[in-house]
Chain A
């Protein structure tokens, strides 16, 4: 079953197309495909984080724990959204089933990417753990399928112990920043692709700058998203892959800017002040100046 379906109808499809075309011409911002399992009327344009159904958890962890889990999730998302300056809307899709990695094929992910979905989040129970799944749509679309980078799947899992729900939901996801890391990476890659496709020098430069800022935000979230000593949170190899992707992205953007003959932005100043454009100069912060601040 496809995860995403376009709004189609066998009946009177011709008439529907005419009406839809007219509607899109009048209200282009309202033209959107439907995301299965979501209240599509409430979906807004722009970047989105979609939270899938938690209904499957009810059978394995019970109604009370599932309820606490949803509340903890919502509070965590509100916080991450605030930290990302509300760049993305969060939508709860109570009937949307979030599946395994294999279900997120190139074609499915392409549709989600076109729908401006940044992240899709789900949860399932597994023995004594809760498994939170994250599909970082731009990474899976552009890097894994489009860029053939097998080290970064764009599908990641984080483990949490069921028993921690009973310790109070304020502890369930505390001090774990994998959500912010992945949302920042998704935004960074989205703006990088916008920059690549942009012909206007000024707009390209602005997209590059935004992309660099989000890559640097992701770099700043890496440590907080580290797996805990008891191996909860992200899998170690996923965490390393995401961290490497953030670091590489920030450097790549910097290098791309310097290689662009039309670029006249502030990263050129950074390169000059740092005395070069070697790999060590392209990072978000220079170690020396960071140490000065402590």
Chain B
């Protein structure tokens, strides 16, 4: 039997060869694909894949065939708008956007995701590449359109593709590591898998028309990258699927559009982030999507190494700032029923702050995540890490909590959690080694406490053998 490592190495080698002989791709690309032949741009650092939203089972016994047809046409229109929206947002330097629509049959998100992982109309997504997939449910009653979105996002790991395995096997397990002060051990926290279902939203047909007109106006295709240049409009047409690739030019102020495969529009579109405002007000998850994209791009750039089988264009310098702003916009929008997504957005802002050494801001963000989702152990663990950074560094006088409290609460609500246990062990060791007893920190019974932690840790180690 081939070991996982050997298979992974083989996979990485194969991908490197595929990429070497594949044509160079633009830094920013867009297309429409049939959902039963999934496709992404293999050279882009990231791909956003909006899939035509699926009618609910309320339509299963629907006798009015035109009703289902209208729902799916609207769903395709929305997928198109989401793709255009991704062009006008901060793109973090290298992005493909491929709307997937139903062709001969309806597809689920799982179908498309597996096709992209094992390879279909494009090669298997390579290690390190970012994929964000937006799918959902749609329902129409009268003039109102109801939508519920689900976002899945990850960076691809080195695992060899196999249809029988769960999707999480192909995702890099995102985590945070931060060394304790005074050259102490590293603390760690796992971040939740990005798989979020948002609360349902309502949008009227008139509003959809207004959004569409805004994007038509903002997406005029000019013959040259100049506002004075003659232009034609780029419109959604259910019977006219348009496939093309695009490339950022003029420092990101313009995108160059070229017909993809079987022709299509050619020219230049001026990017305009403001055009998205109304759409994002109706669908705040699009701010979240952009924030997650930036977050992954920052981590992709941070973790890039010379031995990577595929190297991607680094994220631009302002990526973390843009990502943070998008996540904050999502937090500022008034929604009900999105607590899990809001807690995650706060936590990711904290991670970005922590990465740049802003531990006080990080602590505030993690505390906000804990307040929004008090029973998620990941956020308590992150709060403990920030507290440990703040409590015990020499000369630090910033008020924080006792990190042990946060780690213990994380263990209490999720006892199968060796990461928080290891953090507690490392923190108690720091107290024992330095002999410090900062104000508000319980430094009593250290031997007894460390003994209990190590006994529990050895149980986990036995289990994993």
Contact = CB atoms under 8 A, between A and B. Distances in A.
A82 B424 contact: no
A266 B452 CA distance: 8
Interface in A258-282: 264-270, 272-274
Interface string B397-424: 0000100111011011111111001001
Contact of A74 (B137, B408, B416, B459): B137
A94 interface: yes
Given A64-B141, A209-B416, A264-B456, A71 B408 contact: no
Interface stretch (A118-126, A216-224, A227-235): A216-224
A293 B25 CA distance: 47
Contacts of B199: 79, 170, 174
- Residue with the greatest number of chain B CB neighbours at <10 A, chosen from A206, A217, A269, A289: A269
A175 B337 contact: yes
B137 A170 contact: no
A39 to B, nearest CB: 11
B375 A216 contact: yes
B148 A78 contact: yes
Contact of A269 (B60, B401, B424): B424
A212 interface: yes
Interface string B310-353: 00000000000000000000000000110010000000000000
A67 interface: yes
Interface in A1-60: none
Contact of B148 (A79, A205, A220): A79
B445 to A, nearest CB: 8
Nearest to B144: A168
Interface string A192-223: 00000000001001101110110011011000
Nearest to A76: B200
Interface in A158-181: 168-170, 174-175
A70 interface: yes
Nearest to A72: B200
A168 B202 contact: yes
Contact of A169 (B62, B197, B200, B458): B200
What's the dominant secondary structure at chain A's contact region? helix
Contact of B459 (A67, A217, A265, A289): A265
A82 B58 contact: no
A270 B408 contact: yes
Given A82-B197, A202-B463, A216-B414, A70 B58 contact: yes
A266 B137 contact: no
A285 interface: yes
- Residue with the greatest number of chain B CB neighbours at <10 A, chosen from A210, A217, A272: A272
B434 interface: no
Given A273-B404, A289-B405, A206 B416 contact: yes
B197 A269 contact: no
A131 B202 CA distance: 24
A144 interface: no
Contacts of A213: 377, 413-416
A82 B415 contact: no
A71 B146 contact: yes
B262 to A, nearest CB: 36
Contacts of A268: 452, 455-456
A227 B201 CA distance: 23
Contacts of B56: 70-71, 74-75
B383 interface: yes
B391 to A, nearest CB: 12
Contacts of B370: 293
B307 interface: no
- Residue with the greatest number of chain B CB neighbours at <10 A, chosen from A168, A170, A257, A272: A170
A293 B57 contact: no
10 contacts: A72-B200, A94-B57, A174-B337, A202-B459, A205-B459, A216-B375, A216-B414, A267-B415, A284-B375, A285-B374
Q: Name the 7 nearest CB pairs between A and B, nearest first.
A: A220-B375, A82-B197, A71-B139, A209-B416, A70-B58, A170-B200, A289-B405
Interface of B: 56-62, 137, 139, 141, 144, 146, 148, 150, 195-202, 336-337, 340, 367, 370-371, 373-375, 377, 383, 401, 404-406, 408-409, 411-418, 421, 424, 448-449, 452-453, 455-456, 458-459, 462-463
Given A94-B60, A170-B199, 15 more contacts: A71-B56, A71-B139, A74-B57, A75-B56, A78-B150, A82-B150, A209-B414, A264-B455, A265-B456, A266-B421, A285-B413, A286-B412, A289-B408, A293-B371, A293-B374
Interface of A: 64, 67-68, 70-72, 74-75, 78-79, 81-83, 86, 92, 94, 168-170, 174-175, 202, 205-206, 208-210, 212-213, 216-217, 219-220, 257, 264-270, 272-274, 284-286, 288-290, 292-294
